[in-house]
Copies of this chain bind each other. A is one copy, B any other.
Amino acid sequence: MSERDKSAATIRIAMLGAGTVGTSVAQLLARHQHDLAHRVGAGLELVGVGVRDIGKPRVGIDESLITSDLESVVHSGADILIEVMGGIEPARSLILSAMQSGSSVITANKALMAQDGAALYQAAEQYGVDLYFEAAVAGAIPLIRPLRESLAGDRVTKVMGIVNGTTNFMLTKMDEEGADYDEVFDQANALGYLEADPALDVDGIDAAAKAAILAELAFHTRVTLADVYCEGIGEVTKADIQAAREMGFVIKLLAIAELVADTGEEDGIVVRVHPAMIPLHHPLANVRGSFNAVFIHAEAGGEMMFYGRGAGGDPTASAVLGDVVAAARHRVLGGRGPGESTYSGLQVLDIGRAETRYYVNLDVQDRPGVLAAIANAFAANGVSIQVVRQDGHGVEAGLVVRTHSGSESALRATVDQLRSMDEVRQVLGVMRVEGEE
């Protein structure tokens, strides 16, 4: 511990929410009391826990601290308010109210940060308090702090991550066990991995909220959930996964934010969530089950990856407590954490401006000239073909094409044209390809 200031009074902590994460936070605060006091330079004391349902049993939290009077918790004069109740309201109003009362806020609320982060940042600024949210993205993995602070002297060009453990669990099962979508959905459900509204997971909405948060930090540009292009995993079939595997790829639900520059059009960023094929040798390919990982490319720093547990009570609580220590140290030693940084004000561009590659699987006529006609369709849209593989012939004739990098709009136009061609009986599958140079 620093010798700087041992005179500090106790740091008082209030908490909203006492579910899995809140319970872990309370338990860790108690268990690591001694360590935390040394690391902060003052003791930490939990002074109130607000819950919606007072009747639920809570293990490891002093009953006398629990109340359903959320306002009283917010106005308890705590140095730090931890918000782990989730949802937009009343979390939003309670946080703003706590900041007004002078509390620093630690939140794990990705939906709120992605939807209305600006209002929270502004209040933190106005009332001179800290706002930390490491737990909102990728659970225990230190990611927000590295992006906001460690990479603050560099220029990030791309962030690409597996940030939803449930869908990664499902895709991993489909890949490793050859299960189909409905089976793995049921398994995930039975294991309690799915959100109350499963669409948040499988439609990519949870991942999109995290993508918005990461994009804002990486590019110093305000990004909200509404700016994120989003496709879920509902259309991914066992056949897609097998085809990918045969070509040396694996399918992952990726959250991607990247700089699109020097294309002759206006610079900006594209933020998107969709399933994509990535090569088996890519660091993200080995991220299995419910693990999360985020790959970052920075101009000077080069490629880096952060890997770990993206969810669960203890991992999320670990991230919350790291932020608690930071905010508490500011109470003891002075100083403030970083505020909102949106000075770049880049355009958030349409998905059409993204640069990607396509994999296209076609059921084609078996007659001379078909390959030439199809190659022409790609060329007409300015899309360059990297690999063509022809399978079978006669009524079974199939053609698999992987393209070089092109704009999403050109790739889409190509697929539309393919769909309209006599030579193409059916477009069997289309998937974006990421992680190849």
Identify the A interface with B (CB < 8 A): 1-4, 24, 28, 32, 35-36, 38-39, 125, 134, 140-142, 145-146, 149-155, 220, 281, 283, 286, 298-309, 312, 314-315, 317-326, 329-330, 333-336, 338-341, 343-344
Q: Given A2-B125, A142-B142, answer yes or no on A149-B326 (Cβ-Cβ < 8 Å).
A: yes
How near does chain B come to A76, taking the closest CB pair, in angstroms?
A: 21
Q: Given A28-B153, A142-B146, A324-B153, answer yes or no on A318-B300 (Cβ-Cβ < 8 Å).
A: yes
| 7 A-B contact pairs sorted by A residue (CB < 8 Å) | A24-B300, A140-B300, A150-B319, A152-B326, A301-B315, A301-B319, A303-B308
Give the residues in chain B near A286, CB-CB below 8 Å: 281, 283, 286
Q: How many protomers of this protein does the assembly include?
A: 2
Closest B residue to A333 using CB positions: B336
Give the residues in chain B near A308, CB-CB below 8 Å: 301-305
Residue in contact with A335 in the complex, picked from B283, B306, B335, CB distance below 8 Å: B335
* Cα A312 to Cα B302 with chains together (Å): 10
Give the residues in chain B near A335, CB-CB below 8 Å: 330, 333-336
Residue in contact with A321 in the complex, picked from B154, B340, B343, CB distance below 8 Å: B154
* Cα A151 to Cα B152 with chains together (Å): 19
Contact: A36 with B140, CB < 8 Å? no
* Cα A26 to Cα B324 with chains together (Å): 35
Contact: A2 with B334, CB < 8 Å? no
Residue in contact with A150 in the complex, picked from B312, B322, B330, B333, CB distance below 8 Å: B322
* Cα A134 to Cα B312 with chains together (Å): 29
* Cα A348 to Cα B281 with chains together (Å): 38
Contact: A322 with B4, CB < 8 Å? no
Give the residues in chain B near A334, CB-CB below 8 Å: 334-336
Give the residues in chain B near A304, CB-CB below 8 Å: 140-142, 306-309
Residue in contact with A302 in the complex, picked from B2, B303, B315, CB distance below 8 Å: B315
Give the residues in chain B near A314, CB-CB below 8 Å: 299-302
How near does chain B come to A99, taking the closest CB pair, in angstroms?
A: 15
* Cα A180 to Cα B155 with chains together (Å): 40
* Cα A322 to Cα B2 with chains together (Å): 22
Closest B residue to A44 using CB positions: B153
Closest B residue to A141 using CB positions: B304
Closest B residue to A128 using CB positions: B4
How near does chain B come to A41, taking the closest CB pair, in angstroms?
A: 9
* Cα A315 to Cα B338 with chains together (Å): 23
Contact: B300 with A315, CB < 8 Å? yes
Which of A142, A299, A324, A326 has the most chain B CB atoms inside 10 A of its CB? A142
Contact: B149 with A28, CB < 8 Å? no
Closest B residue to A1 using CB positions: B343
Contact: B315 with A153, CB < 8 Å? no
Give the residues in chain B near A220, CB-CB below 8 Å: 35, 38-39
Q: Given A39-B152, A154-B321, A334-B335, answer yes or no on A300-B141 (Cβ-Cβ < 8 Å).
A: no
Residue in contact with A4 in the complex, picked from B125, B134, B318, B320, CB distance below 8 Å: B125
* Cα A325 to Cα B152 with chains together (Å): 6
* Cα A364 to Cα B94 with chains together (Å): 73
Known: A142-B149, A299-B314. 9 other contacts (CB 8 A): A141-B304, A142-B146, A153-B317, A153-B323, A153-B324, A300-B315, A301-B319, A305-B306, A307-B307
